[in-house]
Amino acid sequence: MNFPDLNTKSILVTGASRGIGKTIALTLAAQKAHVVFNYRGDETKAQELAAEIEKAGGRATALKFDVTDVEAMTKALDAYFAAGNTLQGLVNNAGISKDQLMLRVKPQDIEDLFNVNLKGSMILTNYLSKHLMKAGGASIVNMSSIVGLMGNAAQTVYATTKAGMIGFTKAVAKELASRQVRANAVCPGFITTEMTDALPDKAKETYAANIPLGRFGETQDVANLVTFLLSDASKYITGEVIKIDGGLYI
């Protein structure tokens, strides 16, 4: 891949400490982008990630905030912009899952999943929208999921938050298009990360057997798509919901 415009862009990726978000951060770094990422507590790990981004060819800025902590998020981003930085891209990737049959879901689980997966992304986008409008040709990528489209047993709450991300993406795309800000949603199927490692082996086998391409995806598969959506190569694509699932939901 070669998207030369990315080397002039600063892009915030949430949840870049591991999994899909980390691969997105390193793929953007390989395109020489300025990668801005949040971290929740571990300074050493954040410094290690910044070093990896720089080694891969990018510039790195680490901001300390949890996406559910509006005060910390606002403080970190206010300081980022006060220092003269700009932002041309946002990847709302941070997310959690707590798989449980509806019968056993606790009200606190619903709170937690909505706070991280949906409200965190909405509050961050809300804060950043004026900065993205100023940037000229900015791109937002929201991490949804195939289960937001097709549902899944034992994922009622997770699927609801991911379906919410789709409505959110489409509304933002319509609202910000006149300012040349694009918004698209990505719907991964089963991708090998710590999130899916937590599934029992039997469940993994059953899921893989239902994937026409016969396997779980890799984080790089998703990162390639996200990088394209952040680049000018996709500059006429907005409001789209793109599945990346090995054919799981054909």
Q: Alpha-carbon distance 133 to 207, whole Å?
A: 41
Q: How many Å separate Cα 208 from the centre of its chain?
A: 23
Question: Measured from the CB atom, is 14 or 156 closer to ligand NAP?
Answer: 14
Q: How far is the CB of 124 from ligand NAP (least distance, A)?
A: 10
Angle between helix 43-55 and 19-30 (nearest 10) = 40
Q: Alpha-carbon distance 226 to 91, whole Å?
A: 8
* Active-site annotation holds for 249: no
Question: Measured from the CB atom, is 34 or 162 closer to ligand NAP?
Answer: 162
Question: Measured from the CB atom, is 21 or 58 closer to ligand NAP?
Answer: 21
Q: How far is the CB of 197 from ligand NAP (least distance, A)?
A: 8
Q: How far is the CB of 194 from ligand NAP (least distance, A)?
A: 4
Q: Alpha-carbon distance 37 to 21, whole Å?
A: 9
Q: Which of 158, 207, 236, 249 is catalytic?
A: 158
Binding site for ligand NAP (CB under 6 A): 14-15, 17-21, 38, 40, 66-68, 93-96, 116, 143, 145, 188, 190-191, 193-196
Question: Measured from the CB atom, is 7 or 139 closer to ligand NAP?
Answer: 139
Rg (CA), the chain: 17
* Longest CA–CA separation in the chain, Å: 51
Q: Alpha-carbon distance 41 to 57, whole Å?
A: 25
Q: How far is the CB of 136 from ligand NAP (least distance, A)?
A: 28
Three-class DSSP category at 165: helix
Could you list the active site residues? Answer: 158
